[in-house]
Structure 1
Amino acid sequence: MEDPRKPSPKMAGPGATGALLYAVGAAVLGMLQFGFNTGVINAPRTFIEAFISDNGYTSPSFIFGIVVSIFAVGGMIGCPLASWMTEKYGRKNALIFNAVFGIVGAAFMGFSATANSVAMLIIGRFLIGVNCGFATTASPTYVSEVAPVNMRGAFGTVNQLAVAFGLVGAQILGIDNILGSDEGWPWLLGLAVVPAAVQCVMLPFAPESPRYLLLGMGDEEKARVALTKIRGNAEIENEINDMQEEDRAARQEEKFTIMDLLRIKALRTPLFIGIVMHLSQQLGGINAVLYYSVTIFVRAGIVEETARLAAIGVGSVLFVMALVSIPLMDRLGRRTLQLCGLAGMTVFSILMTVAFFTYENNSTMSMFAVIFTFLYVAFFGVGPSSIPWMILSEMFGQGARSAAVSVGALVNWLANFIVGLTFIPMSEALGDYVFLPYTVLLVLFFVYTYFKLPETKNKTIEEVTALFKK
């Protein structure tokens, strides 16, 4: 008789069991939610501003900017909330709580037009921002802890793919013939209820993180049961031992607070590098494109219906580049890809500006404006989209990593908020030259990165941290 503990030859790969795929699928729906709500606000701007105006507001474009940017304020709250809840209540329970919270936020947005309430729309965007900020912390944590070591990098990229997929889905649903209309936009925003509701159904049947059960709760028996289910066999001793050894090493390592990171030079330098990486991701202008690409294309002379179709290309390019960057990350290295991405974004932000102020005399420049925008997004996908999220983890030891990653996430959401709130006033003030401030910042980020960012490819944490102690 065949040993039931023996791994099935039909597995998708080492450790890629049905239980593992189910758990990862349930978790990354939160990242799909993040992508969806980043892209969903783009296409229906005209209709939402009309709704705001009909409710007596004299500056609908400013209120729309608040609707867009309040999402990031929620994200800034969701990140630390997730860190606290995942440690206190477990990864799975925290994700379930967040899914329920997402349903509430989606309901506020979806019923705002029925209630004729702009306040409900703003509250809904804030709540869904908390939900998405929570997901960007909790979902990757859960996925990394249930995935086997040899597949952790591959499963980690699923988070970025889910974000891009949600973004594309939102842009497709936002075209005129589907939900991009005066009647359809509340349904479009309210569709955020779907991934949250599916998570509520799926997560109760997913296993808790074995790492949390063993190290967080100290329950080795439950950890063994969960790990056996996820791996599909009982050969888990080495993994249990590795977790326990890592825990012993972590207990011996000194813990550092955020104030320690600012006070100690060997920690302050990599922290500032990580902060600049996060700022380069947001202040390079990418969310101006993700939030307002329809507005940008209309400004370049594209008919609004066509502009909504072109906006789908933005998310599609980001999705493709998420796939392309996976093999490049370990071949070319973080530093090379970050510099390449920033340089490409700089070049094409300049060319976008040229296309914007010349299209009236040359109609073909409208099409070039779209092409240059796609290439700008493509270079963002090469490095700046993912490297800031991983670089802090690679520059800090276990004792300082949590504090450093928390600072990076907070800075990222804060910069996201600034871009979302300021793009419309900047667009009205600068007109066709709206991307020049981003271009200047991209040049500064490139120079800083060139001189300050070390290559972390194929280096251990000890080797990287030693660079900053010299």
Structure 2
Amino acid sequence: MSSGGATGPLFYAVFAAVLGMLQFGFNTGVINAPRAFIENFINENYDVNSGLVFSVIVSIYAVGGMIGCPLASWVSDKRGRKFALLVNAAFGVIGAALMGFSETSTSLAMLIIGRFLIGINCGFATTASPTYVSEMAPVRLRGAFGTVNQLAVAFGLVGGQILGIDVLLGSNEGWPWLLGLAIIPSAIQCAMLPFAPETPRYLLLSQRDEEQARRVLKSIRGTDEIEDEINGMHDEDRAMKQEQTFTIGDLIRIKALRTPLIIGIVMHLSQQLGGINAVLYFSSTIFIKTGLSEGDARLASIGVGSMLFIMALVSIPLMDRLGRRTLQLCGLGGMTVFSVLMTIAFFTYENNKTMSIFAVIFTLLYVGFFGVGPSSIPWMILSELFGQGARSAAVSVGALVNWLANFVVGLTFLSMSELLGNYVFVPYTILLIFFYVFTYFKLPETKNRTIEEVTALFKN
């Protein structure tokens, strides 16, 4: 096989790593269906506001994510990519076990702590898994392998929603099993990762173990022709040493860095504050309010995850053909239109029952346009706006902002829904209009441009 091919050992290693991203998707989608049963459990055992406590259970996941992201960067740099993934799998096992046994123990604390730990696991995975995959993949297949992370997220999301339907685990008896099933991806990771290699890049550039790096590279490439790749890593190492390293403080202080940082932050905010997680966390609740039965609402929610999965596949060839800016504008524009139509459907369904079906259709199309660009572009854009010396700090800020906004949406949506009723998506619509206008005027196209060309735009 020629240098840079896809081999069995490479697929094994990538599969072991992306189980963490599947976990991220599963735990985002799984909390949607069992809301009523979890609130029953809370009401039967505790004298508290079950709706408010459920909002805490949903949003504490994002607090864990905020901790997991920087923790992943630190552990990956100190102890290696593989060790970081293995440690994170242990977080997943413990968190899932706590959630799974919370009802048997009649312990709300176990449920909340378990959800918090699984949040750390998922935040950690969003940093550690893409890093491992990109360092294992051959250069010419890096884009294709990078999209595997997004597909794993969408697959996990659909899986969580399917398992939440009535005939499976969407019941008073089934919901602890539903949440506890998160133990499976992490347990498989614990079994697989000891047999997966450390990344050649980490071995060569951080461990200075060229012999082991060569051995791993020959195994995952299926060839002895690895000199070009080894030399490329050495060239990258020399370039990194010559380039100045910037801190988060530098990004705020220096205008040529501050402008792309603000653009990247707004892209991350557009992903969360456009309201997508209100749909992913609470689509069953939204559909019930439009007149669907609980069973039909859960089935409609499966369509939400399925739409994301389909759009992840569709956007792969479009990313390099149409460009980041075009897809982001298309996605935000479509989300704006369909959030308006969703509001109209929510408002008119009582007088026209057909609007219940349109509410579902508009919601699915809103999710579809999210999948066109806003689902993936914020995660890649900061890497394309910054040179090597500032990239790590910028990506860390973006991830933190993303999880913080995720927390805000998860915590506030149910209260906003009670306050605003059928107008609950109006604030998201207003923000989507702002994000569209900002993107139109501020986001440069990075397609087919080198990092040097992109950073030069901000220096001018």
C-alpha displacement at 1:156, in angstroms? 0.1
Q: Once the 2 structures are TM-superposed, how far is the Cα of residue 232 of structure 1 from its aligned partner?
A: 1.0
1:347 counterpart letter in structure 2: V
Question: Which residue of 1 is the match for residue 303 of structure 2?
Answer: 313
Measured in 2, the distance between the counterparts of 1:350 and 1:128 equals 34
The 3-state SS of whatever aligns with 1:207 is coil
Instruction: Give the Cα separation in 2 of the matches to 1:73 and 1:233.
Output: 44
Question: 1:19: which partner in 2?
Answer: 9
Matched, 1:88 2:78: yes
Deviations for 1:4-44, whole angstroms, at most 9, x for unmatched residues?
A: xxx28xxxx95100000001000000000000000000000
- Looking at structure 1, the residues matched to 47 and 448 of structure 2 have their Cα atoms a distance apart, in angstroms, of 56
The equivalent of 1:458 in structure 2 is: 448
Are 2:105 and 1:115 aligned?
yes
What does 1:64-83 align with in structure 2 at a 5 Å threshold?
A: 64-83=54-73
Identify unmatched segments of 5+ residues in structure 2: none
Residue 362 of structure 2: aligned partner:
372
Shift of 1:210: 0.4
Tell me, yes or no, if the aligned pair for 2:4 and 2:139 is still in contact at 8 Å.
no
Partner residue of 2:282? 292
Instruction: Tell me the distance in 2 between the aligned counterparts of 1:419 and 1:57.
Output: 25
1:49 alignment partner in structure 2: 39
For residues 52-103 of structure 1, what are the alpha-carbon distances to aligned partners after superposition, in whole Å with 9 as ceiling and x for unaligned? 1112233100000000000000000000000000011110011011101110
1:227 aligned to 217, 234, 239, which one? 217
Name the structure 1 match of 2:404.
414
> Which residue identity does 2:77 align to in structure 1?
E
Letter in 1 for 2:391: R
2:29 and 2:280 in contact (8 A); partners too: yes
Q: Who is 1:444 aligned against?
A: 434
* Separation of aligned partners in 2, 1:46 and 1:25: 34
TM-score (norm 2): 0.99
Aligned-partner residue type, residue 293 of structure 1: S
Match of 1:62 in 2: 52
Q: 1:153 aligns with which of 138, 143, 154?
A: 143
The one of 299, 303, 320 equivalent to 1:330 is 320
Q: How far apart, in 1, do the equivalents of 2:347 and 2:336 lie?
A: 17
Cα distance between partner residues in 2 of 1:315 and 1:373 = 11
Give yes or no for the alignment of 1:352 onto 2:342.
yes
Deviations 1:98-132 (A, max 9, x none): 10111000000000000001111000000000000
Structure 2 residue 163 is the aligned partner of structure 1 residue 167? no
Deviation sequence 1:171-218 (CA, Å, 0-9, x none): 000000000000000000000000000000111111110000000111
Distance 1:415 1:165, change over 3 A: same
Gaps of 5+ in 1: 1-6
Which whole-Å CA distance do the structure 2 matches of 1:352 and 1:303 have between them? Answer: 18
Instruction: Report 1:191-210 matches (<5 A).
Output: 191-210=181-200
d(CA) in 1 for partners of 2:4, 2:219: 14
- Give the aligned CA root-mean-square deviation in angstroms: 0.8
Superposed CA offset, 1:245-285 (max 9, x none): 00000000000000000000000000000000000000000
Residue in structure 2 matched with residue 104 of structure 1 by the alignment: 94
C-alpha separation in 2, matches of 1:15 and 1:21: 11
Is the contact between residue 63 and residue 119 of structure 2 (CA under 8 Å) also seen in structure 1? yes
- Alpha-carbon deviations, 1:221-243, whole Å to 9, x = none? 11111111111111111100000
* Number of residue pairs the alignment of both structures matches: 460
CA distance in 2, matches of 1:16, 1:228: 12
**Structure 2 residue 230 is the aligned partner of structure 1 residue 217:** no
Aligned residue in 2 for 1:4? none
**In structure 2, what is the equivalent of residue 136 of structure 1?**
126
Alpha-carbon shift at residue 364 of structure 1 (Å): 0.2
Q: Distance in 1 between matches of 2:4 and 2:400?
A: 36
Mapped partners of 2:32, 2:136: distance in 1: 35
**Paired residue for 2:262?**
272
2: distance between equivalents of 1:422 and 1:247?
A: 45
Q: Which runs of 4+ in 1 moved over 6 A?
A: none
Amino acid at match of 2:393: A
CA contact (8 A) 2:338 2:365 kept: yes
The residue aligned with 1:468 is: 458
Secondary structure of the residue aligned to 1:455 is coil
Give the whole-Å Cα distance in 2 for the aligned partners of 1:313 and 1:428.
Answer: 25
Instruction: Say yes or no: does 1:342 pair with 2:340.
Output: no
Q: Which amino acid aligns with 1:466?
A: A
**Quick one: distance in 2 between partners of 1:98 and 1:326?**
28
Q: Which amino acid aligns with 1:15?
A: G
Alpha-carbon distance between aligned partners in 1 of 2:206 and 2:45, rounded to the nearest angstrom: 50
1:324-356 Cα deviation digits (max 9, x unpaired): 001111111100110010000000000000000
Q: Is the 8 A contact 2:217 2:226 kept in 1?
A: yes
